[in-house]
Chains A and B, each alone.
Chain A
Amino acid sequence: MVPFFAYVGAFLLLPSAAVLVGAFRDPEGHWTLRYIAAIFEGQYLRAFLNSVEISAVTALGGGIFGFLVAYAAVTGGPRWVRPALTTFSGVAANFAGVPLAFAFIATLGTTGLITQLLRSLFGLDLYAHGFTLFSFTGLSLTYLYFQLPLMILIITPAIDGMRREWWEAAANLGATDLQYWRYIGLPVLLPSLLGAMVLLFGNAFAAYATPYALTSGVVNLVTMQIGNVLQGNVLSDPQLGQALAVGMIVVISFSMSLYTFLQRRTARWLR
């Protein structure tokens, strides 16, 4: 256990403690609530709302579609589909940051391949219809590229754990497919689905390189704001950065607590 605690201490507890203390002290070392108060105001509050919104939307979207794709691959289709999907998901889930942003700009940017194809083949100008890759929608779409495969990777073992006998027993007792999913399938999968979606939420909430590269840091997310105040391009304010980081810890802790609460409510039957 010593290596474990040494690892957790060095890479989780110590940095968290340093951030927590730093958020409550000014450059002169006096205790203050000024920085914490600042994150509840103006652009910083907006950044939190934006980050929570994009994380929730992509966790939900990626979660639902990822589950459906994984379920289809596990329960049906030719044999080669599943290993192919798993391999692709393994790669795609880790394909983020500058390469991902570039890939999306090259396909869905103003002069991207698909944008141009749609324009020349069907006369459809995405950007004239209000779409832009550099908006909330565009960013969500880009996030989904790694959220969806991550969901596939996480949820597949849970789907594997669903026993064929449960469906057969339910059908045998007179249940329709809908009744099976309502009373057995979804309740059994719910703890795993919730857990996976919390992970997806955290994954999106902490994303930095992808939104930075895609929007040149213009989009107002917490990670962008932390980057701004630490880099000092506009103003250098490490204490505010630490306060924002404390805010992120609180949001993630809250989502984890919510998950634990829901998990206890939905999985009393687990060992």
Chain B
Amino acid sequence: MAYLEIVGIRKTFGEVVALDEVTLSIERGEFFTLLGPSGCGKTTLLRIVAGFETPDRGSVQLEGEEITEVPPNRRNMGMVFQAYSLFPNMTAEENVEFGLRVRGWPAAERARRVAELFDLIGLSAARKRYPFQLSGGEQQRVALARALAIEPKVLLLDEPLSALDAKIRVQLREEIRAIQKRLGITTLYVTHDQEEAMAISDRVAVLSHGRIEQIGPPAEIYENPLTPFVASFVGTMNRLEGTVQDGREGLVNYRGIQLRVNAARGRDPGTRVFVFIRPEVVEVRLVGEGDGLKGRIFSQSFMGPVTRLRIALDQGGELIADIPSARAKALTMGMEVIATFPPDAAGILNI
């Protein structure tokens, strides 16, 4: 049995089904992320684990013990909220100390633990400041220290970076991951930001409409999405609708053009499929430099190291390609181009 088991959870709010038969197993020390768009049920699931919501059906088990009905203050889980959750009437230090104080720790022990945690989050100089005197990033660091102070069995993070600006977000997510690894604490993280989820998680569960679409390590989710939703939600993805032409050779017919897709091997001819291609694997050449999908560039967005091209295909539909910005200089708007992709870099799903 896994360290934290979530079994067959169903939760409704009136007519709305927030979670539908959700089952998950999280191992000890794992950094597990619930990823999905707004309203997919990820926060509801986290709140059920924390004890702030009761499921209509299903159970939560921690270290083999049933905790579905245990009140939040007896679950021994530390939680970090989106923002503004620090107690405003207490200094940073008093916030961190709070959990220990209500648990009756002796003063000397509390002081030692608090000092340790401020060292860990690198904010020792801000111990005496009130929350309003701290920046958003500092507040979230203190909130993390406060959650860690009680040595929780599970650390729960509910979009803790969503209220911060981009640069701080990246910096803090790396710090959270480093602290999690150092302490080896089992962590359940909620986010709608797929890049964030990919960057820090051991495993990710992608949720949509209260159901789990896919669970796996970030690379697997990114490279082999199992559903059209995962393919479109995690990163940018081109989706071409075609028909398997030859299952032995891996040929797919897309509006009269033959595409070589290794993943199509073994599929019955005539099967209607989606071919998924990441923009970064698309190669763009000038017309006359080989065969492929022919089209015209209708949009160019500079994104730093890469430039994103949108190509209107002659067969209809469009294709997105991320190419090195240095190469993109030779390509201009309206130019006719040929787009190709390596046969082993495309995914496929039956329609």
Contact = CB atoms under 8 A, between A and B. Distances in A.
Real binding pair: yes
Contacts of B102: 170, 173-176, 179, 183
B73 A166 contact: no
Given A165-B81, A168-B79, A269-B130, A173 B88 contact: no
Interface string A122-166: 000000000000000000000000000000000000000001011
Nearest to A191: B89
Contacts of A187: 89
B342 interface: no
A265 B87 CA distance: 17
Contacts of B130: 268-269
Interface in A173-187: 173-176, 179, 183-184, 187
B72 A171 contact: yes
A90 B81 CA distance: 36
Contact of B87 (A170, A174, A176): A170
B289 to A, nearest CB: 58
Contact of B150 (A174, A176, A267, A269): A174
B150 A188 contact: no
B324 interface: no
A175 B147 CA distance: 13
Contact of B89 (A163, A168, A174, A188): A188
Given A165-B84, A166-B87, A271-B132, A183 B78 contact: no
B99 A171 contact: no
Interface in B34-86: 50-52, 71-79, 81, 84-86
Contacts, number: 83
A169 B146 contact: yes
B155 to A, nearest CB: 11
Contacts of A269: 88-91, 130-132
A172 interface: yes
Q: Bin chain B's interface residue count.
A: 20 to 34
A267 B89 CA distance: 7
Given A165-B84, A168-B52, A175 B89 contact: no
B73 A171 contact: yes
A187 B146 CA distance: 19
Nearest to A172: B79
Contacts of A179: 102
B85 A163 contact: yes
Contacts of B76: 174
Nearest to A183: B98
B327 interface: no
B103 interface: yes
Contacts of B103: 174
Contacts of B89: 184, 187-188, 267, 269
B46 to A, nearest CB: 11
Contact of B50 (A170, A172, A270): A172
Nearest to B131: A269
Contact of A168 (B81, B86, B101): B81
A173 B104 CA distance: 12
Nearest to A184: B87
Interface string B117-153: 0000000000000111000000000010011011000
Contacts of A166: 85, 87-88
Contact of B98 (A165, A173, A176): A173
A271 B81 CA distance: 22
A180 to B, nearest CB: 9
Nearest to A179: B102
Contact of B77 (A172, A184, A271): A172
B42 to A, nearest CB: 17
Interface in A231-271: 267-271
Given A179-B102, A183-B98, A269-B130, A173 B146 contact: yes
B71 A173 contact: no
A176 B147 CA distance: 16
A268 B84 CA distance: 18
Given A163-B85, A269-B90, A170 B98 contact: yes
Interface string A91-132: 000000000000000000000000000000000000000000
A169 B73 contact: no
B90 A175 contact: no
B98 to A, nearest CB: 6
Contact of B73 (A165, A174, A268, A270): A174
Contacts of B98: 170, 173, 175, 183
Nearest to A268: B130
Contacts of B52: 168, 171
Contacts of B91: 269
Interface of A: 163, 165-166, 168-176, 179, 183-184, 187-188, 267-271
Interface of B: 50-52, 71-79, 81, 84-91, 98-99, 101-103, 130-132, 143, 146-147, 149-150
Given A166-B85, A169-B79, A173-B99, 19 more contacts: A168-B52, A168-B81, A169-B86, A170-B98, A171-B51, A171-B71, A174-B74, A174-B76, A175-B102, A176-B102, A179-B102, A183-B87, A183-B102, A184-B87, A184-B89, A187-B89, A267-B89, A269-B91, A269-B131
27 contacts: A163-B85, A165-B81, A165-B84, A165-B85, A166-B88, A168-B50, A168-B72, A169-B86, A169-B87, A171-B52, A171-B73, A172-B72, A172-B77, A172-B147, A173-B99, A173-B149, A174-B76, A174-B150, A176-B73, A183-B90, A183-B98, A183-B101, A184-B89, A188-B89, A268-B130, A269-B90, A269-B130
Which 6 A-B pairs have CB atoms at the shortest separation, nearest pair first?
A: A173-B99, A165-B85, A171-B72, A175-B102, A187-B89, A172-B79
